[in-house]
Structure 1
């Protein structure tokens, strides 16, 4: 840290940020020589499982923040990163702190979904040279975990979708983990909500826009109810986003993402409960995932 502070500056406070699953997040308060303070964020990979992918994640995030600097997408400023723990005890990345808060409540979701959709359209419009690394699929037909109370026949049909060929696509810059927990809002009283930042670019990739839309749709379906999955996809197109013209292709990406969620749905939901959504019990989340999968299969991805 000392290498990346200005002369005379020092850390006066370290606060652990909630919500992280794969890494520890700390907000650092820096005392400046003019008597004021500024905030930085340090992400550190310490968990044994996340350490296996830390180098790739940090390379992806550092490249994404550099690419997006100066774009219409509000992101932190990259200050430094150490993907191989050459200078740090663990692989780490240092960036500026973006103001705002995550909002996970059901109240106001009607207002936030169009904002999320427009923000994702702006991300997909970014021109990147060189391209980010190709997306990672995250799941296979053999790794899906079927919930206990799920409709086994519907899930078997959904798993068969993954056994089909991967659709061709025109690639775009993807966030790859675009969801309400990674978007910061200004929710000042008596003012309409607005997005102040998009964070956690560790999965930044090159791939189909359908995949980013599918991922946010899955998360909204679990947070607010299955109907919010297709509503987000519609909002994305209304905002000018372009998805596959093929109904079968749309279904493929949405089913793929929802099934990938099945493998770690409870670790996804734990930070939501910690943030106050205590209603999202393990049973509720699994039932919503089951209902969403059924919706996707019955509607053929519409």
Structure 2
């Protein structure tokens, strides 16, 4: 029997063709948390992910086809019985020995504790630079220092996390969405420095076009999940000042108010109004009824 005053823990690992990584990760989780519920969410794997997980005593939730990392996280969170949910990768990058460090932060009164990687823990320079930009942007938006916005290694209070399941995307960026949602709702978030190991199995590849689109989408997601006006007002101001400057130039040289000036002023108004509407939608998204 565990300590009745100690919250129960469920460890959730989204996995797609991660049999090799699970062989190493699952036994180490059991060593660190012998009483924890371990859930492997099989996202349409074609290898021995299900067999390995079952043999090692994990509870397996299987999907007939790949639905995405975020979908696996949502399915695992709904099925978990623990008061605290720990999310980590199944590929061996995250060290189970760091889980108690995250749980200790929750014991201090935080609602979410995130394992923060340093520069050496990034998959490559390209992603390291992108994540650094995300961290700075999110820190500016929230007014809190965010050390690792995209880390998938985190511990959260289950009841708080489930409030935002409807916001989580089925694909990428569940860490971004959940972090910004916690900050928006005034749930305290802590960061714990961790080391990240090289993943077991096939290494991820850089896809400039796909990753570039993700880069832009995450930027807009950061804004829309916290305070859209903080992003839209500076952009609107930039358009307005550019239009004002162009008008000053054309008036001084040709005594004209040009179509370009009108276009820039119109863009400033449109961008501001879009931000205003987005702000209201964001407020409604986090409003609690009853």
When you count helix as a share of all residues, which structure comes out higher? 2
Q: Which has the larger radius of gyration?
A: 2
TM-score (norm 1): 0.31
